[in-house]
């Protein structure tokens, strides 16, 4: 497995500081603003000294706390999942604690994802040995519930998100299209919904809560067209993808209008942005590129800072972090990018 990072690796903590979570050879690193909008601390290892496999997942609850999940080696040829909670960017994260293995034992089975419910409990989802989806979550008063097999077949990509309703939704792709599980009530085990039978380009899933009722799923088809889908309607084509990787999405206010922003590392090497009124896909949208040309494998993230300004971040394969903020003027114009 590579250094996959599932979830938004750029987040704003409850104290208003931005922080980023970065992959290292055998660890997860964190960098944080010293004060909101100020300079940044150097990278530091989180979760203790135990070595990890490459790649991790991050999720953030409504309390602002970050939850991280990763695989660690346990014995030769075997691995287990571990979890850490990071309460505030400038405080040490809790040590990694075991979450176990979806098949009780064995090596890594897939890249994990994590979502956090309204009670602040982490829900971990991972492909199991049979290529279905297994889940395990924290109990309300401490400890862990047992593993649950949500089933599924020949699962490839996996994504989990907490909607505005507080209910968690899980999406996965396989050779037939998109699989979906959803909680009927907060805290309940997700149940399977009817699949969406569409072709999907691997590695392109993204999801965004867009109203109390809906989460919008974004994906690219094999021809490179981005689509938006909500389960009560047919997928809507948006525009041609700017590049081959996943699109990053953020919902925010732009000039008094509830908007959805898309960002993607483009084939030109720059970061492409597009925006449209949330859930109003028929209005159309187009890409505008920004910043320097960056190498293949660059990751893009979006967040809002303590003042509500949109912040964009890029992380290149060599670990270079760059940031840009929205200008204090109408529209989505960004300031000059700078290296952190």
User: Residue 1 has what pLDDT?
Assistant: 40
Tell me the average pLDDT of the chain.
Answer: 94
CATH class of segment(s) 1-197: mainly beta
Which residue positions in the chain have pLDDT lower than 70?
1-3, 89-90
Phi, psi of 274 (to 5 degrees): -145, 155
Cβ distance 21 to 128 under 8 Å?
A: no
Cβ distance 241 to 264 under 8 Å?
A: yes
User: Where in 94-235 does DSSP place strands (E)?
Assistant: 97-100, 113-116, 122-127, 133-137, 148-151, 158-162, 168-174, 177-182, 191-192, 206-209, 215-220, 225-229
Q: Do domains 1-197 and 214-340 have the same CATH topology?
A: yes
User: Residue 230 has what pLDDT?
Assistant: 97
Cβ distance 58 to 66 under 8 Å?
A: yes
Cβ distance 160 to 59 under 8 Å?
A: yes
Domain range summary for the chain, segments of one domain joined by +: 1-197, 214-340
CA dist 177 and 164 (Å) reads 25
| CATH superfamily assigned to domain 214-340 | Fucose-specific lectin (2.120.10.70)
Q: Which residues pair with 98 in a beta bridge?
A: 82
Nearest to 19 by CA among 63, 60, 70, 69: 60
Tokens for 49?
């000294």
User: Residue 105 has what pLDDT?
Assistant: 96
CA dist 248 and 262 (Å) reads 6
Nearest to 55 by CA among 175, 154, 158: 158
Give pLDDT tens digits for 29-45: 999 999 999 999 999 99
pTM listed for this prediction: 0.95
CA dist 115 and 94 (Å) reads 18
Give pLDDT tens digits for 170-192: 999 999 999 999 999 888 899 99
Cβ neighbors of 291 (< 8 A, separation 6 or more) are 270, 271, 314, 322, 324, 334, 337
CA dist 158 and 319 (Å) reads 25
Strands 5-6 and 56-60: parallel
């Amino acid at each position: 497995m590579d250094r996959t990072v599932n979830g938004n690796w750029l987040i704003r903590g409850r104290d208003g500081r931005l922080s980023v979570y970065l992959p290292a050879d055998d660890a997860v690193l964190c960098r944080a603003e010293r004060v909101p909008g100020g300079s940044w601390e150097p990278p530091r290892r989180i979760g203790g000294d135990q070595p990890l496999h490459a790649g991790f997942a991050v999720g953030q609850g409504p309390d602002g706390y970050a939850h991280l999940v990763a695989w660690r080696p346990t014995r030769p040829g075997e691995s287990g999942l571990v979890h850490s909670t990071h309460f505030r960017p400038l405080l040490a994260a809790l040590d990694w604690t075991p979450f176990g293995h979806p098949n009780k034992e064995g090596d890594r089975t897939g890249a994990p994802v994590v979502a956090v419910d309204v009670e602040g409990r982490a829900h971990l989802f991972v492909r199991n040995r049979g290529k279905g989806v297994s889940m395990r979550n924290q109990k309300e008063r401490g400890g862990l519930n047992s593993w649950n097999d949500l089933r599924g077949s020949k699962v490839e990509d996996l994504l989990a998100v907490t909607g505005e309703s507080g209910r968690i939704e899980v999406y996965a792709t396989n050779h037939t299209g998109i699989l979906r599980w959803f909680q009927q009530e907060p805290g309940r085990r997700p149940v399977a919904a009817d699949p969406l039978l569409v072709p999907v380009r691997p590695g392109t899933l993204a999801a965004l809560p867009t109203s109390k009722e809906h989460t919008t799923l974004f994906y690219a088809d094999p021809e490179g067209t981005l689509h938006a889908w909500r389960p009560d309607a047919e997928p809507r084509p948006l525009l041609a993808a700017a590049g081959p990787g996943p699109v990053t999405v953020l919902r925010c206010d732009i000039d008094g209008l509830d908007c959805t922003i898309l960002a993607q590392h483009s084939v030109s090497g720059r970061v492409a942005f597009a925006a449209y009124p949330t859930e109003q896909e028929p209005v159309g949208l187009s890409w505008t590129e920004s910043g320097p040309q960056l190498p293949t494998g660059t990751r893009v993230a979006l967040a809002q800072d303590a003042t509500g300004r949109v912040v964009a971040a890029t992380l290149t394969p060599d670990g270079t972090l760059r940031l840009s903020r929205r200008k204090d003027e109408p529209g989505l114009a960004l300031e000059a990018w700078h290296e952190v």
